[in-house]
Amino acid sequence: MKKVKALAAIISCVYGSVCFANFEIGPQLKIGPEYIHYSYREPSIQKRPLNRGTLYGVNAAFRYDRERFFVNFESKFLKGSGKYSGKSFVTRRRGGRIERSETELHYKTSENKLVESRGTFGIKTNDFGFYSGIGMRELKITSPNVSGTVKRYKRKTTNYLYFPVGASGSFYENNDDFNIFWMAEYDHLIRGSIKTKRFSNKSSWKTNNFNQNNGFGLKLLLALKIKSFEISPFFNFWSVRASKPKSYKTQMGARTYEVTSIEPKSTTREFGIRANFVF
């Protein structure tokens, strides 16, 4: 219910915005493959990336333009694999030790974004301006069977609800066969939720939920359009603050312990490229 209220508030704000339009009047559809190199860090734990991987999938966008108004809906779904290169605790008969581990990970991610703008700005052949809207992002990370006592688990399911505010433009607006577009966007995190499952099913703490509601994202894109084909390299970045501490009980042998845990501050970097056919 809170998400619905937040969405309604943002839509009302969006419809009061004054932005731009830089495409031809009428509907436009884009669809094509997308590739991403994914890198995830938790700076308080280690400087090197904890998760790295490559994802492949499809993206699509539908846009409708009027003279001084446009609405654009984007959606994508990708999946892939990578490595977890963090630290693990290995139990011995007399104490324990910390060692670095390499674990295979499987990724699934989806993102949906709706933006709207009104008004146009133009200097010679350059159209540019601002837009705002609403976006939702989901990332699921799973691991196959791992040696030792670790069983198959779903490590994280991350959901972000965010408010995008961006600027975009084109360089050759009057040329139907060739154009260059650019986009720069700031994403304000409204709500972030993370569901984490324990590595071992033997723990009494099998699942836990963390809320990370403080953070931001950045997106940069440059698109080259030749007739009905468009290729776009891009960069996405997320920085999310740590969650509030959460306590849970876990059992080791015959004893039960109370442990306090947090979801630490994290940063995510995505370098990618997409190739779209424009209709």
| pLDDT (tens digit per residue) in 105-162 | 888 999 999 988 755 554 444 567 788 999 999 999 887 655 443 444 556 789 999 9
Q: Based on C-alpha coordinates, what's the Rg of the chain?
A: 22
- Provide the pLDDT for residue 18: 35
> For position 4, what pLDDT does the model report?
44
SS3 of the chain: helix, strand, coil, percent, to 5: 5, 70, 30
* Whole-structure pTM value: 0.80
- 14/69 Cα distance (integer angstroms): 12
The distance from CA 156 to its chain's CA centroid, rounded to whole angstroms, is 14
Residue 4: phi and psi, rounded to 5, are: -65, -45
By CB atoms closer than 10 A (0-12, 13-18, 19+), residue 16 is exposed
Q: Provide the pLDDT for residue 170.
A: 83
Q: How far apart are CA 243 and CA 274, in angstroms?
A: 33
What's the confidence (pLDDT) of residue 276?
A: 96
DSSP 243: P
What does the block give as tokens for 267? Answer: 């940063």
Q: Residue 120 carries which side chain, given as an amino acid letter? A: T
Q: In the chain, which residues have pLDDT < 50?
A: 1, 4-5, 7-23, 89-99, 122-125, 147-152, 201, 204
Residue with tokens 């060739």: 178
| Burial of 133 (C-beta count, 10 Å sphere; 0-12/13-18/19+) | buried
Taking the CA atoms of 1, 158, 232 and 58 in sequence, report the sign of the dihedral they define. negative
In contact, 232 and 31? CB cutoff 8 Å = no
Q: With left for phi above 0 and alpha for psi between -120 and 50, is residue 182 left, alpha or beta?
A: beta
User: For residues 20 and 121, is the Cβ–Cβ distance under 8 A?
Assistant: yes
Phi first, then psi, for residue 151 (nearest 5°) are -105, 175
